[in-house]
Amino acid sequence: MNGIGGYLTLLFLAANISFSFQTPNTVNPCCFFPCQHQGVCVRFELERYECDCTRTGYYGTNCTIPELWTRVLEYLRPSPGFYHYILTRYKWFWDLINATFIRDTIMRLVLKVRSNLIPSPPTYNSAYGYISWEAYSNVSYYTRILPPIADDCPTPMGTKGKIELPDANFIVETFLKRERFIPDPQGSNLMFAFFAQHFTHQFFKTYGRMGRGFTKGLGHGVDLSHIYGDTLERQHMLRLFKDGKMKYQIINGDMYPPTVVEAPVHMIYPDNVPKEKQYAVGQEVFGLLPGLMMYATLWLREHNRVCDILKKEHPTWSDEQLFQTTRLVLIGETIKIVIEDYVQHLSGYYLKLKFDPELLFGVQFQYRNRIAVEFNQLYHWHPLMPDSFQIVKENYNYSNFVYNTSILADYGVEALVESFSKQKAGKIGGGANIHPHLLKVAVGVIEESRKLRVQPFNEYRKRFNLKAYKSFQDFTGEETISKHLESIYGDIDALEFYPGLLLEKTLPKSIFGESMIEIGAPFSLKGLMGNPICSPEYWKPSTFGGETGFNIVKTASLKKLVCLNVKQCPFVSFHVPDPENGETQFSTIKIPDEL
């Protein structure tokens, strides 16, 4: 490009930025993020770059001029705010839609549009900010949606903002620390909060010892490694090697995970917890919270229950075939529960979401997934955690709840499920709702983001077809916090990714803001529907041991997961009881007298 020096000068003036130590001729032109609409910036000489606009639907120097068909689509396409408004209102209308074939049509469209926002095969990682074979093939890395900010940019966030970013501890203490608990207006509860944490720990496994942007999880999706372990050695230590089952112990007549004495896998517990009290499960960190071990216990019971069903149907099958087929059944159950219970609740939609892989048969779709570092950062939902944990009539603070190995067996799964189902979780978006005990986690996310040189929040808004915010007041919807943010960041285009997600103004009666939904949903749906069991080659009865196993998958629900694996079905839901629907706050199960 001729005249790039003058062009960069104009950009600097437009941004009202000046740097005494650099001239426009020495600035990497890609630091301006000039390429729009997913165009790729390629630097040539010091002063020259080109935007590759291939298959973006746009052309021009910076991929800003829409092609005719793109112009038509832009005109017709409603904004995310519009369709969120429609989907969360007019229940009578959606009740009619849910009873017709139109539901499948809409669900197919949702899956295609959301999933197409995630590149497959993957593009970048923390070592390579350009297309490379290594970025594709080395699954030890998290992938990335946007390449890292170049190392030679004039500011940490490209060209906008201040020369130094504000201290991460200051951001967390000032904007994210909880002063008073803010409940989620959608009614999410701790059953939901612990599900989110236990579910994501199978594919979010940051491995800092290897360097920046690495993961221990080689599966990059729903593989249930949090149940079975992420290595064959760990899996074998947890298996009974009889009838396909996992090892277990019986306490008070109920099934629980074995101890590390019986299944000698590495688990993370404090030194003062004896090995006889340490539960052994697939994910080494699950001893941290009773809510995580509660879910591990439910899935252990479900695995062994399904093994019994398949053993009865297939008496000639080996232990190995029973185990492997049961694992596929549980993967299917997990995806069904996540889409139809978990995501359904999270969305607040009146459209009834549906898990049906056949909706994508005949559509160009890749049945492979890679976990992105942006998805990992986005999913740090620690504002969900309350100030304390109410179990039956007892209140536990963090010091006597964390690593408390006696809570699960003393109360039993039923009591924990009902207690967690009835306690409100916190609101994620809007800021100022992370418990002081958890602030260090948020600090760690911000510091990691800076080491990985994650692009600014507004760049991700544009990448996911959202309008970039023009000001901090537009971003927060109020004046005081917006002025404070502007004073420390200097420019809305210098706002960091993770603080942006947590501080963005929330949608009406929603747990978080627009960006969390529009950026998070594509990652989630692509990861779920990209699972091999959703492919035409796998999605058939024989994969799951016949129609019986197939029906276990197709009829799975959160309530069935719990109630088929306990003696007395408690109140179980991802939302606190709704009296209008006849749900009660009173206990529905008998609590042991000694408690």
Q: Which two three-digit tokens encode residue 331?
A: 């993967």
From 40, 69, 272, select the one nearest 147 (Cα to Cα).
Answer: 40
479-482 contacts, C-beta under 8 A, 24 or more apart: 481/175, 481/431
* Helical pair 91-98 and 102-115, crossing angle rounded to 10 deg: 100
Helices in 452-479 by DSSP H: which ranges?
Answer: 457-463, 472-476
CA dist., res. 349 & res. 85, Å (int): 9
Pick the catalytic residue: 58, 124, 295, 379?
379
CA dist., res. 198 & res. 202, Å (int): 8
Pick the catalytic residue: 198, 201, 345, 575?
201
Query: Phi first, then psi: what are they for 292, rounded to 5°?
Result: -70, -40
DSSP class of residue 287 equals: G
The sign of the torsion formed by the CA atoms of 326, 332, 337, 340 equals negative
From 479, 528, 171, select the one nearest 344 (Cα to Cα).
Answer: 528
Based on DSSP, count helices (H) and strands (E) in the chain, helices before strands. Answer: 25, 8
201 is catalytic: yes
From 18, 45, 13, 20, select the one nearest 30 (Cα to Cα).
Answer: 45
From 129, 122, 174, select the one nearest 153 (Cα to Cα).
Answer: 129
**DSSP per-residue codes, 480-529:** HHHHHHHHHHSSGGG--HHHHHHHSPBPTT-SSBHHHHHHHHHHHHHHHH
- Which helix (H) or strand (E) segment holds residue 408: the answer is helix 407-411
Q: Which residues pair with 66 in a beta bridge?
A: 58
CA dist., res. 299 & res. 306, Å (int): 10
SS (H, E, C) 545-591: CCHHHHHHHHCCCHHHHHHCCCCCCCCCCCECCCHHHCCCCCCCCCC
Angle among Cα 235, 239, 242 to the nearest 5 degrees reads 145
CA dist., res. 107 & res. 284, Å (int): 36
Q: What is the CA radius of gyration of the chain?
A: 25
CA dist., res. 482 & res. 499, Å (int): 13
Contact 472, 486 (CB under 8 A): yes
Active-site residue set: 201, 379
